[in-house]
Structure 1
Amino acid sequence: MKTKNSTEKFFKKSILIVDGGSHLSKLYSYILSSDYSLTIKKNGIDALAWLEEGNDPDLIITSLRMPYLDGCAFIQNLKLSGFYRNTPVMLLSGDENLAERVEQMAYKVDSYLEKPFDPTVLKMQITKLIA
């Protein structure tokens, strides 16, 4: 963590998490909130609206299966945008053959993990992406 002068005010890296599973939101908060500033959205439309308000996360974690706008369409919107195309994206999904699915995606993600995931591995991958 970074400190600002002698005020000892801490600045956390920010992560936008987009996942339709409400039970997972609590898990993400439990695992990551002590190290990162989290914003959690339940679908891609809400996440895009939040981003359009001028928010700029250091990392975006998304699921494939979400209501209204699935993960592939959400990632496509990010990568086509001028502002967020270089923001690292991690995909978390319980889909079978996730590695094959990621390879076939039109827009690449920076990292992916299968659900259920090991919290230690999640933290390690996040560190690699936004250290």
Structure 2
Amino acid sequence: MVKRQILVVDDEVSILKLLNFVLSSQYDLVIKTSGVEALTWLEEGNSPALILSDLEMPYFDGSSFIHNLKISGFYRDTPVIILSGAKNLEERVSQMPFKLDDYMPKPFNPTQLKEAISNVFIKYDSAGR
């Protein structure tokens, strides 16, 4: 069985290690530590099944990264889940000019994250994407 690929974008090493531990048995993870790295990887023609991104990263934050994805023709339908320790996360998400599939505050519950990912894939599979 081929694992679905998830692009993980976060600058916190501890979060990346935790995500790798929790998700790598079920998914093929591609780890990038900035929005710039992630965008470069995507521009090389890669197309993940899902993107997990932090909002607060240096240089090119998660909001800018996701905005660039959503205005592109290639990735606007790629599901996105935000994992962030940002203050007022719910308010920030509600003010974004694009749709997110889900979001979770850090620290997150690994079981809830797995459920959120599964629910996103179920939704997209049933929509024929």
* Class of the TM-score when normalised by the shorter of the 2 chains: over 0.9
- Coordinate RMSD, CA, aligned: 0.7
Give SS of 2:53's match. Answer: strand
| Aligned position for 2:38 | 47
Counterpart selection for 1:109 from 100, 104, 124: 100
- Which protein has the larger Cα radius of gyration, Structure 1 or Structure 2? 1
- What residue identity is the alignment partner of 1:118? N
Provide the TM-score with structure 1 as the length reference: 0.91
| Aligned position for 1:59 | 50
Q: Give ranges in structure 1 of 5+ residues lacking alignment.
A: 1-9
- What residue identity is the alignment partner of 2:101? D
- What residue identity is the alignment partner of 2:5? S
**How many percent identity over aligned positions?**
54
| Aligned position for 1:78 | 69
Q: Tell me how far apart the structure 1 counterparts of residues 16 and 82 of structure 2 sit (CA, whole Å).
A: 15
| Aligned position for 2:7 | 16
| Aligned position for 1:97 | 88
Give SS of 1:102's match. Answer: helix
* 2:117 equivalent to 1:126: yes
Q: Tell me how far apart the structure 1 counterparts of residues 54 and 5 of structure 2 sit (CA, whole Å).
A: 18
Q: Give ranges in structure 2 of 5+ residues lacking alignment.
A: 123-129
| Aligned position for 1:4 | none
Give SS of 1:11's match. Answer: coil
More strand by share: 1
Q: Tell me how far apart the structure 1 counterparts of residues 56 and 82 of structure 2 sit (CA, whole Å).
A: 11
- What residue identity is the alignment partner of 1:72? S
| Aligned position for 1:27 | 18
Q: How many residues align?
A: 122
Give the C-alpha shift of residue 101 in structure 1: 0.8
Give SS of 1:91's match. Answer: strand
What's the CA shift string for 1:55-79, capped at 9, x where partnerless? 1100000000111100110010000
Moved over 6 A (4+): none
Give the C-alpha shift of residue 108 in structure 1: 2.0
Give the C-alpha shift of residue 42 in structure 1: 0.2
